[in-house]
Amino acid sequence: MDATERVADAAAGATAGTREAVAAVVRSDAALLEDDLAEFLGSLTAPAAVASGDSHSLYEAALRRSLYEPVADAVGSKVGQEALPPSAGAPGGDRVPLRPSMVYWAYRNYRGFPDETGDETGNETGNATGIETGIDTGAGDSAADLAVVRRAAVAVRVMLKAFVAIDDIQDGSAIRYGEPALHVTHGVPLALNTGSWLIAAVLRHAADPEVVDSLLRAVESGFTGQAVDLSTRTEQTRAELIAAPVEERAAYWESLAALKTGTLFRMPLDAALAGLRVVDEEQYTLDAAMRQLGLASQLFNDLTDFVPEFGGGRIHEDYDGLSNRVFLELLDPHCSGLAGERLKAYVLGHPKLEPTLLSLAAEAVRLKREAKESVYGVCRSDRSAAYFDLTIERKGHLIDRLHETLQQRNGA
């Protein structure tokens, strides 16, 4: 049995006590992130009177309506990923649902858990520029490392919100996570300005040059992927996709998904690894694993458009573009000109629809499993593996459930 298998088996077989202890650390880290986010948001929306000396000026009132309020709505909106529910007596208490961060997983993996520092509670305190902690792994100044990680975690979370604000405009999405999209509540011009402004704000907040560079690469990748996605709505790209062999369409989808969804998975880890100065070999391993998780997640998103149990109110909704993998698997050269309701009728009536859904669901499960195995290979302990599982499986378990649902539906 190799090291990866031992870590995986240890994580799977962890005792209830071990899982509870790890969950407490996850909660503590997530609560710290929520505190930092609140402080960051407060710094963004501080009254302009601080600069102008007039808290009742027309300028301050206009700035609050046109920037501070949209920023607060953008950053404060639901993140969309299953959170740890509030729990009395646990870190974070009963104030808000807590969302673990892969940035903190990297910190725990490479710098240690609280009991390794002599702090049994895990409640490290201090501001993001001067934090006291006893972690010592011989890998640099851990207080400085935690300060970098705290800033990176905030930057990543807010960067994701900025991407959402801009993406919803480009996709014409009126609802995000069950709430009106930012451009619906504040208008397209203000939502676009808010998303762009937030990107600049978090790059400044990240501070560490290596982290900033990693975030800039994520911005570039994300917008590149968005450009390719938008291209699928043009007549020329649609015609080229329909005429291409299935294998080429799948390769097109994979490149697109790696840039868009894959970037969302890679960005937190890339930022953390950059800040912690993790060796290149492990960066490559984790980058590839996050790419796989991104592909698995995008397959899940594509498939839920066909599975009412998971798609909810969005079932059979998005038929304007050809970025959905299911469409790309089923279309043929005779489908030229299909769009909207005609495309919907063609796909839903296709004799290979169900086998295709089942096959792609199995592919998503495989990608997730292989990604997790790769991450286990760089986990420093079974607790680190358990932390990773708890963080990733908030959505990852849905990929397994989707596959099981389709198997039952097809009698497989």
The percent of the chain in helix, strand and coil, each rounded to the nearest 5, is: 70, 0, 25
**Confidence check: pLDDT of 358 > 70:** yes
Indicate if the pLDDT at residue 126 is higher than 50: no
Q: What distance in Å separates the CA atoms of residue 139 and residue 111, rounded to the nearest whole number?
A: 8
Top pLDDT among 129 and 412 is at: 412
**Is residue 382 a contact partner of residue 11, using CB atoms and an 8 Å limit?**
yes
Nearest to 29 by CA among 131, 130, 123: 123
Residue whose C-alpha is closest to residue 378's, from 291, 310, 286:
286
Q: For 156-174, what is each residue's pLDDT tens digit?
A: 999 999 999 999 998 888 8
The reported pTM is 0.84
Q: Which pLDDT tens digit goes with each residue over 161-213?
A: 999 999 999 888 888 877 889 999 999 999 999 999 999 999 999 999 999 99
Highest mean pLDDT among 54-68, 166-180, 327-341, 366-380: 366-380
pLDDT of 131 > 90? The answer is no
Look at the chain and count its residues.
Answer: 412
Q: Where does residue 337 fall: left (phi above 0), alpha (psi -120 to 50 degrees), or beta otherwise? A: left
* pLDDT at position 135: 35
pLDDT score at 309: 77
Measure Cα distances from 69 to 66, 72, 128, 182, 241 in Å. 7, 5, 25, 11, 42
- CA torsion, points 331, 337, 343, 346, in degrees to nearest 10? -60
Kindly tell me if the per-residue pLDDT of 314 is higher than 90: no
Indicate the range of 73-77, 86-90, 337-341, 345-349 predicted with least confidence.
86-90
CA distances to 107, 112, 145 from 275, rounded to whole Å, are 10, 15, 7
